[in-house]
Structure 1
Amino acid sequence: MKLRAHITSHLVKGDDLNHHGTLFAGKTAMWFVESGFIAAAFWTKPENIVCANIHGMLFKKPVGNGCVVRFESKIVLSGRSRLVAYIKVLDNSDDDFLLDGFISFVHVDHNGKPLPHGIVIEATDPEDIALQERARSL
């Protein structure tokens, strides 16, 4: 199946800010994982997905109060029980690139043990192929 981007958005409010008045990384991490989880849930049942590793969340610029941030996530790599999501975050008003990174999820049974999912990810677009290569190196 072709890679599909899933989009979620959040309004950055006062409660989301750190002591510098910019978006708190912990809040961003929560939204980041949620976005990747939604992409993984497209491929399999949500009750079978657990987050195993945030491979990085690299901010390119600070995010201020009132900004609407758009999370674009897609599963770019699959293993026997692993699914790797790439998440890119943009400023919704001008598509300015804010941050990106990868998250690994594990497909599990009802006891939390890894379970093969049988999912095959087919990257055909040059950008998706490059993301898949980056994910393989994690």
Structure 2
Amino acid sequence: MSEYRHVVRKWVKPEDLNQHGALFGGRLLQWVDEEAAIVAVAQLGTKDVVTRHMSAIDFAARADRGDLLELEYRVVGFGRTSITLGCRVENAVTGEEVLTLERIVFVAVDDAGRPVVHGRENATEGTERLRQRR
């Protein structure tokens, strides 16, 4: 499988903070899941995907207001109906690892929510698969 890498950056703003003045873990997981879904959609060429599984979540370091986070995604593999991604979140200000998820699994589904075969085996760099479905 070719090496695919997708990076987005998020700025920690006051509305993202918990009662201790650090980035709220739920907000970070929201960012991770939302962007992972975007990657899955682009890779599979369909908007009809659902999050099936996330590996163990272990927050390794805190992020504070004003920090810039980099969320880096890679394609781990393709299943018949699924795609597995990995994600590493790093604090671009301190260089510390904030969170790593080894496996985030998405499944392609039909209108009734049942898994469907997607036919993909290799990663793509762009969104051309979405345009092919039209």
| 4+ runs deviating over 2 angstroms | 93-96
SS at match of 1:73: strand
- SS of 1:118 mapped into structure 2: coil
Matched, 1:107 2:114: no
Alpha-carbon distance in 1 for matches of 2:53, 2:122: 19
| TM-score, normalisation: structure 1 | 0.79
CA shift in 2, pair 1:55/1:96, >3 Å: same
1:7-46 matches, within 5 Å, as 7-46=7-46
User: Which structure dedicates a bigger proportion of its chain to helix?
Assistant: 1
Q: Does 1:83 align with 2:67?
A: no
RMSD: 1.7
How far apart, CA to CA, are the structure 2 residues paired with 1:19 and 1:4? 37
Query: For residue 51 of structure 1, what is the amino acid of its counterpart?
Result: T
| Structure 2 partner of 1:55 | 55
Which residue of 2 is the match for residue 129 of structure 1? none
Where does the alignment leave 5 or more consecutive residues of structure 1 unmatched? 123-138
Corresponding position of 1:64: 64
Deviation at 1:90, TM superposition (A): 0.8
In the alignment, structure 2 segments of 5+ residues that lack a partner are 124-134
TM-score by length of 2: 0.81
Q: Deviations over 1:52-72 (max 9, x none)?
A: 122233211111111011100
Which deviates further from its counterpart, 74-83 or 45-54? 45-54
